[in-house]
């Protein structure tokens, strides 16, 4: 049996066609007229924009929420954490939920749930209410990305899949690019509640269009047998515990905290039990057998690396720009904009190239570009010019655009049509978890490494070091020239020297963080040999 065959005991044995998804999708696409397909694309893109936008737009309104709701920084963090945890738990279940309820009903209901939760978030009068409604919002948002992507794979004929996925990817990239800027504008000119209220008209329109024009997939049928409550429960406990550890680990001191230790043990036991249960039960909630497809597994692994670099880089870069370079929050947000524009501009080009070029060829090239982008960021200093900051960010944007779409197509076009909804959930979950791991790791790394480096550099701040003596005397003379007495000038010179040490420690730490991301991107080079061969349209055997 081919390695791409789905290992389901209830299916007849025999070689699976790696390109079954793109071979069969034309027959499903015949249910739609050309105009209807584009209406469906607009509808699912609107839903996706809402889901992705809400992961970034909330962050800039956190201070206003704290003041309005009387919350501490640790408490208000659950507004973001609750959303992400709920999103992560539901993501791998989207394929099963779509089959159980029907694609049309499930996607429409998810949009309605997300929209209703947005209305309730905007009207929340306590922190507990806001966190609870954000959890419901995250549950609804999971389908708006994975189910939408799977839907487009079937609604459009195979000759248009690459370009349509490119357009869809533009929406996915556009939302986090404008999210912080839009959130800041709404918060400053209206109130934080309006960052939720703006979702309502878009959500209503998206739900109407999906319910009116989308049809159920003919490749999906309602799962036989009962609901896999055990699998769903283990998944919820395992992923919920793991995501909470990643979100709160650095804040709680990692394994110095009994809470983090307990959640880590809980996550390990629950996820191991979940994998064993899903592989042996007759009606799994998550079809883990799709991971036997070598190309899908390789693309899913690389998606985690992409999430690590994409979300991790976006996390530490604004901190570097503000703490080291003295950028304002608005300037830091605008610094990311050219890179987002570069991604948006290159995606349609990649979409056209994918008609003739195998998706896997883009992965090593984009990995190398990503390496040089973050290596360039890892060489920035306090004196780096604006061009030295923006050029690596533009390279980063190009790398993301070159990798995002080919990885998606490499992962999904090798699956059987009935496995695509479940596959998109696992694929998007991998990218989300990679991002969470990147943020957690880099937050801890920056926190601990800066302390270590600062302590090491401070050993050179002593009277026996000629370089220190020279700098110290220069600082003393400078402050005395400003009219300060000798004793005060000495004190100010020492503080200035310590500040310079702290700043240099920050520069070195952030440089090392960017370099770690750079080396992570190099994992994409060997992945080339594992990804599915052939263009999106060609009937090329993956093995």
Q: Is 194 exposed, middle or buried (0-12, 13-18, 19+ CB in 10 A)?
A: middle
Half-sphere exposure (Cβ direction) of 222: Cα atoms closer than 13 Å = 8
Q: Report whether pLDDT(522) > 50.
A: yes
Q: What is the pLDDT of residue 536?
A: 60
Q: Report whether pLDDT(93) > 80.
A: yes
Q: Report whether pLDDT(518) > 80.
A: yes
Q: Report whether pLDDT(368) > 90.
A: yes
Q: Which residues of 521-540 are buried (b: 16+ CB within 10 A; e: fewer)?
A: bebbeebbebbbbbbbbeee
Q: Report whether pLDDT(123) > 80.
A: yes
Q: What is the pLDDT of residue 30?
A: 66
Alpha-carbon torsion (235, 237, 242, 243), positive or negative: positive
Cα distance between residue 157 and residue 18, in whole Å: 17
* 32-217 and 287-543 have identical folds: yes
Residue 534 banded pLDDT, cuts 50, 70, 90: low
Condensed to tens digits (0 to 9), the pLDDT of residues 243-293 reads 788 877 877 778 888 888 999 999 999 989 988 988 888 778 888 888 888
Per the CB < 8 A criterion, the answer to whether 83 and 132 are in contact is no
Q: What is the pLDDT of residue 148?
A: 78
**Which three-class secondary structure string do you get for 90-132?**
HHHHHHHHHHHHCHHHHHHHHHHHHHHHHHHHHCCCCHHHHHH
Q: Report whether pLDDT(489) > 80.
A: no
CA-nearest of 269, 288, 142, 286 to 227 is 286
Residues recorded for the chain? 543
SS3 293: coil
Cα distance between residue 196 and residue 201, in whole Å: 11
Residue 211 banded pLDDT, cuts 50, 70, 90: very high
Q: What is the pLDDT of residue 13?
A: 37
Q: From start to end of 372-434, where are the E strands? A: none
Q: Report whether pLDDT(510) > 70.
A: yes
Q: Report whether pLDDT(66) > 80.
A: no
- Considering only residues 368 and 166, tell me which one the structure prediction assigns the higher pLDDT: 368
CA-nearest of 62, 130, 142, 47 to 94 is 142
Condensed to tens digits (0 to 9), the pLDDT of residues 228-245 reads 888 888 888 888 888 788
Q: Residue 474 has what DSSP assignment?
A: H
Predicted structure pTM score = 0.76
Residue 18 banded pLDDT, cuts 50, 70, 90: very low
Q: What is the pLDDT of residue 109?
A: 93
Helix count and strand count (H, E) for the chain: 21, 0
Lowest mean pLDDT across 35-49, 62-76, 294-308: 62-76
The structural architecture, per CATH, of the domain 287-543 is Up-down Bundle (1.20)
Domain 32-217 has CATH 3.30.390.10: no
Lowest mean pLDDT across 4-18, 63-77, 351-365: 4-18
Q: Report whether pLDDT(502) > 50.
A: yes
Q: Is 316 exposed, middle or buried (0-12, 13-18, 19+ CB in 10 A)?
A: buried
Q: Give one word for 539, left, alpha or beta, with left for phi > 0 and alpha for psi -120 to 50.
A: beta
Share of the chain above pLDDT 90, in %: 13
Q: What is the CA radius of gyration of the chain?
A: 25
Q: What is the pLDDT of residue 220?
A: 66
Condensed to tens digits (0 to 9), the pLDDT of residues 144-190 reads 877 777 788 778 887 777 778 788 877 777 776 677 667 777 777 88
Tokens of 425: 């959930």
CA-nearest of 522, 288, 268 to 427 is 288
Half-sphere exposure (Cβ direction) of 230: Cα atoms closer than 13 Å = 14
Condensed to tens digits (0 to 9), the pLDDT of residues 300-331 reads 888 888 888 877 777 788 778 877 887 776 67
Q: What is the pLDDT of residue 385?
A: 80
Query: 483 Cβ partners below 8 Å, 6+ apart?
Result: none
Domain layout of the chain by residue ranges: 32-217, 228-284, 287-543
At what angle are helices 486-521 and 362-377 packed, to 10 degrees? 170
Cα distance between residue 313 and residue 209, in whole Å: 36
Q: Give the chain's mean pLDDT.
A: 79
Per the CB < 8 A criterion, the answer to whether 235 and 142 are in contact is no
Q: Report whether pLDDT(111) > 90.
A: yes
**Which three-class secondary structure string do you get for 291-336?**
HHCHHHHHHHHHHHHHHHHHHHHHHHHHHHHHHCCCCCHHHHHHHC
Q: What is the pLDDT of residue 207?
A: 93
Tokens of 410: 């490499």
Count of other CB atoms within 10 angstroms of residue 466: 8
Share of the chain above pLDDT 70, in %: 87
């Amino acid at each position: 049996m081919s390695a791409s065959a789905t290992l389901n005991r209830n299916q007849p044995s025999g070689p699976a066609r790696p390109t079954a998804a793109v071979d069969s999708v034309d027959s499903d696409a015949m249910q739609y007229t050309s105009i209807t397909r584009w209406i469906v694309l607009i509808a699912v893109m609107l839903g996706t924009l809402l889901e992705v936008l809400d992961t970034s737009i909330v962050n800039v309104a956190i201070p206003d929420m704290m003041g309005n709701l009387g919350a501490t920084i640790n408490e208000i963090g659950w507004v973001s954490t609750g959303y992400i945890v709920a999103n992560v738990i539901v993501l791998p279940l989207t394929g099963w939920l779509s089959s159980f309820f029907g694609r049309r009903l499930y996607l429409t209901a998810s949009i309605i749930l997300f929209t209703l939760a947005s209305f309730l978030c905007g009207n929340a009068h306590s922190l507990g209410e806001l966190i609870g409604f954000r959890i419901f919002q995250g549950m609804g948002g999971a389908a708006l990305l994975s189910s939408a992507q799977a839907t487009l794979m079937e609604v459009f004929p195979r000759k248009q899949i690459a370009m349509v996925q490119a357009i869809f990817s533009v929406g996915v990239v556009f939302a986090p690019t404008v999210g912080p800027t839009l959130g800041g504008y709404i918060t400053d000119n209206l109130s934080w509640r309006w960052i939720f209220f703006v979702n309502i008209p878009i959500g209503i329109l998206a739900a109407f269009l999906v319910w009116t024009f989308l049809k159920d997939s003919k490749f999906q049928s309602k799962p036989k047998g009962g609901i896999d409550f055990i699998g769903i429960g283990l998944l919820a406990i395992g992923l919920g515990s793991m995501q909470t550890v990643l979100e709160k680990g650095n804040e709680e001191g990692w394994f110095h905290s009994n809470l983090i230790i307990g959640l880590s043990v809980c996550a390990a036991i629950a996820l191991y039990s979940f994998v064993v249960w899903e592989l042996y039960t007759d009606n799994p909630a998550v079809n883990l057998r799709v991971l036997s497809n070598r190309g899908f597994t390789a693309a899913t692994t690389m998606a985690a690396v992409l999430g690590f670099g994409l979300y991790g880089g976006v996390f530490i870069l604004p901190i570097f720009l503000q703490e080291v370079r003295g950028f304002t929050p608005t300037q830091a947000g605008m610094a990311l904009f050219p890179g987002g524009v570069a991604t948006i501009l290159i995606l349609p080009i990649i979409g056209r190239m994918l008609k003739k070029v195998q998706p896997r060829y883009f992965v090593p090239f984009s990995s190398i570009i990503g390496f040089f982008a973050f290596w360039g960021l890892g060489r920035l200093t306090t004196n780096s010019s604006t061009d030295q900051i923006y050029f690596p960010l533009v390279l980063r944007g190009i790398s993301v655009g070159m990798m995002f779409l080919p990885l998606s197509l490499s992962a999904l076009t090798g699956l059987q049509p009935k496995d695509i909804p479940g596959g998109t959930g696992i694929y998007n979950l991998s990218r989300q978890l990679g991002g969470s791991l990147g943020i957690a790791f880099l937050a801890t790394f920056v926190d601990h490494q800066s302390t270590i480096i600062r302590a090491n550099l401070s050993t050179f701040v002593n009277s026996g070091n000629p370089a220190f003596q020279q700098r110290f005397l220069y600082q003393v003379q400078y402050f005395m020239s400003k009219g300060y007495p000798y004793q005060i000038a000495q004190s100010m010179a020492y503080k200035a020297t310590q500040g310079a040490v702290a700043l240099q420690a920050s520069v070195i730490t952030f440089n090392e963080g960017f370099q770690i991301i750079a080396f992570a991107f190099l994992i994409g080079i060997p992945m080339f040999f594992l990804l599915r061969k052939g263009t999106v349209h060609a009937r090329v055997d993956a093995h």
